[in-house]
Chain A
Amino acid sequence: MDVALKLEGVSKRYGRFEAVKDLSFEVPRGSICGFLGPNGAGKTSTIRMILGLSPPSAGQITVLGGEGGNAVRDRIGFLPEERGLYRKMTPVDAIAFFAGLKGVPLGEGRKRAKKLLEAQGLGASMKKPMKALSKGMAQKVQLMAAIAHEPDLVILDEPFSGLDPVNQQGLEDVIRDLADRGTTVLFSTHVMQHAERLCRQVVLLARGEKVFEGTVEAARARAPRFLELEGALATDAVAGLPGVAAVEAAGDPAAGTATYRATLAPGAAPQEALKTAFARGLDVRRFEMKEPTLHDAFIVLTGGRA
């Protein structure tokens, strides 16, 4: 497998506090990898180590074949979690400046900036100072600044935070477009829906430790499936169905009908539970099989550890 990013036994200690513990994972070239974890899980510390901004206390990081991000700085694009640009600069100048730092001549950088801004619907604002742009517009400009030099690896730290749903959708399109062109994208987030829509591979971190690495489907498979039942049912009757590990009631059973969310045990077949329910004459008026989301997997895999 052609690997764009590889971490082997990486740790980061700040005094006695260990922010990242023995972390290892790989990101295949040209893929979109979600780097997931709750706040304080060690995502930003890991990203800083990948970029070469701070050295790992232990372990090795290989980025685009080079040792550490410093060696291949020009081939990486980075959008930090806390965003900001020079307030008096225009979007064109800002994008051209950051592309220039990555080796793109200023004239070419300006051309690319104009093209990118037009494509993102910011053509009318390209000569306004950054301070005159809305937060969403400024975030788009910063993303353009991170990718204008056409990097091989793009690292986005919480790219969706602060964006409205329309802009979030636009950013998802940009990320897909990057991957279509062969760029490897690693983005951190604690909002699972984005990762679910964008990624094939995810790495889950909790309290500095990797708790999962693999495909989204594999992550989901680690979480239990649910059977939703609605009708004039008793909690005990639902709990007594085969394969049901736990039951959570929604609504008031005393009102006549209620909805139950039955958690299925690993490997249990929902058909068996349904068949038994009907065989026992339970008053089931509606049923639905619920596949676990990445969010469910996240809760299970992190064990609720934030």
Chain B
Amino acid sequence: MKRMLLIARREYFAYARTVGFWLSMLALPALMLLGGMMPAMIKNASPTRTVAIVDFAGGQQAALTAALDARYVTAQAKAMREAAVSEAGEPGADAVREAVDRDGLEAGLAALKRVAPRAGAAYAPPKRDLRVVAAPPEVASAPTLAAAEKALRPHLTGGELSAVVLLERRDGELKARLWSERVSDEAVETAVRDALRDVIRRDRLIAAGLDPATATSLAELKPKLDVFSPKSAGGGEVSLRDRLPGVVGFVLGMLLWSSVISGASILMNSVMEEKSNRVLEVLMSSASTTEILGGKVLGVAMITATVLGVWFGLGAYALRMLLPGLADDLGSVLLDGGLIFYLALYLVGGYLMYAMVFAAIGAFCETPRDAQTLLGPVMIVLSVPIIVMQMAVRTPDLPLIKTMSMVPFFAPFLMSARAPSNPPLIEVVIALAGMAAVGALMVWLGGKAFRAGALSSGKFDWRGVFALMTGRG
């Protein structure tokens, strides 16, 4: 046991003391942080565009201005709802949205402060992406559309205006010509197109005989759809909390897969390095194969645990700080029915099975090229769970998924993906028992292969492997 721990210790520090280890460990949180912050940073960095409207259609400027302003109200309503959801849950968030729709932004902010005091206090309205301003006099007073177009150019190239919308009526249709400061400013283009559609829709409804108030209410119609399921936590309405297990399952399945692959690969490279450095023979004269393999597997498992621990720790801290409600929900999903315990078992089982296979491969190889030959079939097996992972999350009860998730080599990943949907206990037991049996078999076979491979020399070939394994080489 002492030898095993000593080998594990060496293995751990051999990686933990490298700059690459810390870089790769911190790369994911840094990327996630950057990925999370980037949209907000881009949005904040973008200037508020100034848009002027010149109306040659007659009486449409106010309607288009109102439609463009309404977009900002919608954006604020969405931001308030998103701010509320973590602290107040779906019902609280819906209440905030309804308050905005019913009584305006002030009422919405009051509702937000009431249902989610922390989020309400920290709420800052999103930056406005465009503002309607008065057109320059020479443009506004241009007698024709062509004259206006000639007059507006200096104002765009001089940076005074971001865009000018020229409204006209042709063939009885309201149409617009958009002059933009930049060739590719899709934000203004999209905003004007949406606002114009709202105006035209309202006009047509009025033309069809509806009164203006009805036409406006139809244009602003937002159907409220409540979703229910007997499998939801409350036995009725489906909330974000009910959908969270599926997301958690998928994320954990993928995380488990990447952890097993990276851990097993580290192990294989370590064994390969020791074999090519001729250290393996000395190690084998100092410790048993079980101690060497056990120590290496344990050392790399500690590396994986460190990485996962840091990721979970940072993730949990960030969630608690930024989205405390979601953090609580995630916590309850992980603790519900001992999910985290099962996940730990799947991680250990999966890692053990693949670690032994990868270690045995490493013992037969001295170069990555040698390893490629042997890794091919293993990678094909490993790619199967990735292909069906999403299906396992969406339809965890599908007979094909159920069957596949009990195949020991797929079980760690597919059962992790299915775990949050609470699969029947018998299936969990079968999967775990299968993993344990195959894990034990892999320990035995891997140990035998490791011993045979470690003492082999020369170029790798399948016949040689078989001969060594059967003691004839």
Say whether B455 contacts A80, CB under 8 Å: no
Are the CB atoms of B286 and A102 closer together than 8 Å?
yes
A88 / chain B contacts, CB cutoff of 8 Å? 14
Also in contact, A86 and B14, with CB within 8 A (given A69-B285, A70-B288): yes
Give the nearest-CB partner of B291 in chain A: A101
**CB–CB B287/A101 < 8 A:** yes
Does the CB pair A101–B281 fall under 8 Å? no
Q: A14-B472, A54-B455 are in contact. Are A86 and B283 (CB under 8 A)?
A: no
- Is B279 close to A, CB under 8 A? yes
Q: Cβ of A87: which chain B residues have Cβ within 8 Å of it? A: 277
CB contacts (< 8 Å) of B382 on chain A: these are none
Interface membership of A226, Cβ < 8 A: no
Near B by CB (< 8 A), chain A positions 97-119 give 97-98, 100-103, 106
Chain A CB within 8 A of B388 CB: no
Q: How far is the CA of A263 from the CA of B450 in the complex (A)?
A: 53
Interface size on A, residues (CB 8 A): 30
Are the C-beta atoms of B279 and A85 separated by less than 8 Å? Answer: yes
Answer yes or no: B319 CB below 8 A from chain A CBs.
Answer: no
Q: What residue of chain B has the Cβ atom nearest to residue A82's Cβ? A: B278
Return B298 CB to nearest CB of chain A, in Å: 15
Chain B interface size range: 20 to 34
Residues of B within 8 Å of A78, CB to CB, are 282, 285-286
Q: Is B10 an interface residue (CB 8 A)?
A: yes
Query: In the complex the two chains form, is A84's CB within 8 Å of B279's CB?
Result: yes
| Residues from chain A with Cβ under 8 Å of B473 in the complex | 14-15
User: CB distance B278 to A84 under 8 Å?
Assistant: yes
The minimal Cβ–Cβ distance linking A37 to chain B, given in whole angstroms, is 18
Contacts of B286 in A (CB 8 A): 73, 78, 98, 101-102
Q: Is B316 an interface residue (CB 8 A)?
A: no
Question: Is A80's CB under 8 angstroms from B278's CB?
Answer: yes
**Inter-subunit contact B279/A101 (CB<8 Å):** no
**Chain B residues numbered 265-297 whose CB sits less than 8 Å from any CB in chain A:** 274, 276-279, 281-288
- Scoring B281, B285, B455, B473 by chain A CB atoms within 10 A of each residue's CB, the highest score goes to B285
Whether B14 contacts A98 by the Cβ 8 Å rule is: no
Cβ of A48 within 8 Å of any chain B Cβ, yes or no, is: yes
Q: Is B472's CB under 8 angstroms from A83's CB?
A: no
Give which listed residue, B7, B283, B455, B467, contacts A48 with CB less than 8 A: B455
Query: Distance in Å from the Cβ of A42 to the closest Cβ of chain B?
Result: 15
The interface bits of chain A over 255-291 (1 if a CB of B lies within 8 angstroms of the residue's CB, else 0) are 0000000000000000000000000000000000000
Q: How far is the CB of B240 from chain A (nearest CB, A)?
A: 48
The reply on A76 being an interface residue by CB < 8 A is yes
Q: Which residues of B contact A142 (CB under 8 A)?
A: 282
Contact of A101 among B6, B277, B467, B472 (CB under 8 A): B6
What B residues does A101 contact at CB under 8 A?
3, 6-7, 283, 286-287
Cβ of A246 within 8 Å of any chain B Cβ, yes or no, is no
Chain B residue with minimal CB distance to A146?
A: B282
Contact A53 B455 (CB under 8 A): yes
B472 closest partner in A (C-beta) = A15
Q: What residues on A are CB-neighbors of B7 within 8 Å?
A: 101
- B470 nearest in chain A by CB position: A15
Q: A9-27, CB under 8 A of B: which get 1 and which 0?
A: 0000011000000000000
C-alpha gap A86/B15 in the complex (Å): 12
B1-57 contacts to A, CB under 8 A, are 2-3, 6-7, 10, 14
Which residues of A sit under 8 angstroms from B276, Cβ to Cβ? 84
Cβ A76 vs Cβ B277 within 8 A: no
Bound Cα distance A52, B277 (Å): 21
A87-B277, A101-B3 given; A80·B282 CB < 8 A: yes
Q: B285 and A53: CB pair below 8 A?
A: yes
A86 to B270, CA, bound (A): 10
- Of A15, A48, A84, which contacts B277 at CB under 8 A? A84
* Chain B residue with the shortest CB-CB distance to A70: B288
Interface membership of A51, Cβ < 8 A: yes
B-side contacts of A97, CB under 8 Å: 6, 10
In the complex the two chains form, is B281's CB within 8 Å of A80's CB? Answer: yes
Residue from A48, A70, A83 in contact with B278 in the complex, judged by beta carbons closer than 8 Å: A83
A70 contacts across to B, CB distance below 8 A: 288
Q: In the bound complex, what is the Cα–Cα distance between A85 and B473 (angstroms)?
A: 27
- Contacts of B284 on A, CB cut-off 8 Å? 51, 53
List of A residues within 8 angstroms of B279 by Cβ:
84-86
Instruction: List chain A residues, Cβ under 8 A from B274.
Output: 86
Bound-state Cα–Cα, A13 to B127, Å: 80
Complex Cα–Cα for A93 and B472 (A): 38
Q: Which chain B residues lie closer than 8 Å to A53 at the CB level?
A: 281, 284-285, 455
Bound Cα distance A142, B278 (Å): 11
Bound CA–CA A54/B284 (angstroms): 10
Nearest-CB residue, chain A, relative to B288: A70
Q: Is A86 within 8 A of B277, CB to CB?
A: yes
Chain A 16-64 residues near chain B, CB threshold 8 A: 48, 51-54
**Which of B14, B281, B455 has the largest count of A CB atoms less than 10 A from its CB?**
B281
Residues of A within 8 A of B281 (CB): 53, 80, 82
Residue of B nearest to A47 (CB): B285
**B467 A15 Cβ-Cβ under 8 A:** yes
User: Which residue in chain A gives the minimum CB-CB distance to B287?
Assistant: A101
Residue of B whose beta carbon sits closest to that of A83:
B278
Cα separation A87 to B3 with both chains bound (whole Å): 21
* Bound Cα distance A106, B13 (Å): 15
* B129 CB, nearest partner CB in chain A, Å: 53
Check if A98 sits within 8 Å of B472, measured CB to CB: no
CB distance from B235 to the nearest CB of A (A): 59
B contact residues around A145 at 8 Å (CB):
282
Chain A residue with Cβ nearest B292: A101
B residues near A80, Cβ cutoff 8 Å: 278, 281-282, 285
A-B contact pairs, 8 of them (CB 8 A): A14-B472, A73-B285, A73-B286, A78-B285, A80-B282, A86-B274, A100-B6, A101-B283
Given contacts A78-B282, A86-B14, A86-B274, 4 further A-B contacts (CB under 8 A): A73-B286, A82-B278, A84-B278, A84-B279
Nearest 8 Cβ contacts at the A-B interface: A84-B278, A84-B277, A101-B286, A78-B285, A82-B278, A15-B472, A80-B281, A51-B285
